[in-house]
Amino acid sequence: MTIQLADWSVLRSVRTLAETDEYLVLDKPPGVSVTGERHETDLVRIARAAGEHLIPVHRIDKVTSGAVLLAKTQAAHGPLTRQFTVRTVRKSYLAITRSVGLPAQGTVELPLSVGRKNRVRVGAPREDIVFDPEAGRWSVPEASVRPRSFPSLTTFDRAWQGERHTVLALYPTTGRRHQIRVHLAWIGHPIAGDPLFPAEEEGADGAVRTCLHAWRLSFDDSRGERVTVQAAPEEDFWAPVTTELAAPDRAGILPH
């Protein structure tokens, strides 16, 4: 999806999830960066060109859609950012994997590091990953962890499973770059449409985009009141499972 500079007022009006004088929560479309895009535009630049100054409180990947929190002032930015640092923010994602066989609940506790060409990977040999079926937990022995690796934790609930795909609700405790995408791929359950871990044949998984969506976001406002926003995935997210999971049934499979 290409966003032109002139589209900011339209984008803002149809995709604002919550707003005060201090922050804006936007439902970001896939294919648009939050900030820092070198060769194309991004949300911060689009807003700036329209005369609005926004400061990202966190980021989601360019290929990921969904809720992103932006501060309107520098004074508001600090307290909001600290909530991510101390992990009082609750983040929930939806993903469709091109796989089946995941447990009803799971924990992926695999350290992440950056390898060649700035690619994020698990900071341990793949063959050292251990799965505990009783706990539904993937981990590696401490002795296997490579230097300059960072602890990373993702938990999930299996929301639905079809013949070839699974819908997950995921809750990353840490916020490493590409964390959910790398964690799922390295345990053998890559996200449908993910260019980091593509299917052997283009389009083989039925995806028209990366099927990862920032679904819910909970944080505290300046008065200490809890704010929870939710962004429903758009139709393109569901492309791999449309023949098995009808639109009226989708809301019913998701955790409350």
Integer Cα distance of 231 and 177 in angstroms: 21
- Residue by residue, pLDDT tens for the chain (256 residues) are 444 545 899 999 999 999 999 999 999 999 999 998 876 789 999 999 999 999 999 999 999 999 999 999 999 999 999 999 999 999 999 999 999 999 999 999 999 999 888 899 999 999 999 999 999 999 999 999 999 999 999 999 999 999 999 999 999 999 999 999 999 999 999 999 999 999 988 788 999 999 999 999 999 999 999 999 999 999 999 999 999 999 999 999 999 8
Claim to verify: residue 102 and residue 151 sit in the same structural domain: yes
Which pLDDT belongs to residue 193? 97
Among residues 69, 86, 103, the one where a domain terminates is 86
Claim to verify: residue 125 and residue 246 sit in the same structural domain: yes
Claim to verify: residue 186 and residue 130 sit in the same structural domain: yes
Which pLDDT belongs to residue 2? 47
pTM assigned to the model: 0.95
Domain count, the chain: 2
Claim to verify: residue 121 and residue 65 sit in the same structural domain: no
Claim to verify: residue 100 and residue 9 sit in the same structural domain: no
Claim to verify: residue 240 and residue 114 sit in the same structural domain: yes
What are φ and ψ of residue 185, in 5° steps? -65, -40
Integer Cα distance of 1 and 26 in angstroms: 16
Integer Cα distance of 217 and 159 in angstroms: 18
Whether 177 contacts 33, CB under 8 Å = no
Claim to verify: residue 18 and residue 107 sit in the same structural domain: no
Distances (CA, A) of 148 to 113, 115, 138, 145: 6, 10, 20, 9
Mapped onto helix, strand or coil, the DSSP state of residue 24 is strand
Claim to verify: residue 242 and residue 165 sit in the same structural domain: yes
Looking up residue 243, the CATH number of its domain turns out to be 3.30.2350.10
Claim to verify: residue 137 and residue 245 sit in the same structural domain: yes
Among residues 65, 86, 107, the one where a domain terminates is 86
Q: What is the residue range of 23's domain?
A: 1-86
Neighbours of 48 (CB within 10 A): 15
16 beta partners: 26
Residue of 7, 19, 91, 10 whose CA lies nearest to 54: 19
What are φ and ψ of residue 59, in 5° steps? -130, 155
Mapped onto helix, strand or coil, the DSSP state of residue 7 is helix
Structure tokens at 217: 């976001």
Claim to verify: residue 119 and residue 225 sit in the same structural domain: yes
Q: Which residues touch 13 (CB under 8 Å, ≥6 apart)? A: none
Claim to verify: residue 96 and residue 157 sit in the same structural domain: yes
Among residues 42, 57, 86, the one where a domain terminates is 86
Claim to verify: residue 79 and residue 141 sit in the same structural domain: no
Which pLDDT belongs to residue 6? 54
Rg value, the chain, Cα: 18
